[in-house]
Amino acid sequence: MERVKGLGELERSIMDILWAQSTALTAREVGRLIADRDLAPTTVMTVLDRLTRKGFLHRTRDGRAWRYAPAATRDAYVAELMLEALDMTGDRSAALTRFAQGVSGPEAEILRRALTELEDE
């Protein structure tokens, strides 16, 4: 995922399914797990192909089928979204300050630890 490209609603649903799995899935398996929608198998395959081209998925051959797995974790995706949002502001310091004011005590502690670890590297 070089730059985060937006995910549509169906793309997000499919990514949620793949992020929740511990193994790569075929298009058919994804289609079965997205039971709340009545999707044609070709629609699922098209979305998986699009997500692969966007860099969200890796695919490997499994006989005649492809198996799809996320290229990065959900956490990495969300972090990229946050960094892109930060890039949109004209004042990164103000945005970071406002963000810090909005996090809970435990979240602030996580940020402190992460920053301390980065400084120690």
| 97 part of a folded domain | yes
Cβ-in-10-Å burial (0-12, 13-18, 19+) of 43 comes to: middle
Residues 32 and 79 in one domain: no
Residues 88 and 46 in one domain: no
User: Which pLDDT belongs to residue 1?
Assistant: 46
User: Which pLDDT belongs to residue 87?
Assistant: 87
| 24 part of a folded domain | yes
> Which residues span the domain enclosing 57?
9-70
| 3 part of a folded domain | no
Residues 54 and 96 in one domain: no
Residues 106 and 90 in one domain: yes
Residues 62 and 99 in one domain: no
Predicted confidence pLDDT, tens digits, the chain (121 residues): 444 567 888 999 999 999 999 999 999 999 999 877 788 889 999 999 999 999 999 999 999 999 999 999 999 999 988 888 888 888 999 999 999 899 999 999 999 999 999 998 8
User: Which pLDDT belongs to residue 30?
Assistant: 95
| 2 part of a folded domain | no
CB 71 within 8 A of CB 56: yes
Tell if the pTM clears 0.75, that is, is over it.
yes
Residues 97 and 62 in one domain: no
Residues 57 and 79 in one domain: no
Query: Which H helix or E strand runs over 100?
Result: helix 92-102
Structure tokens at 115: 């920053």
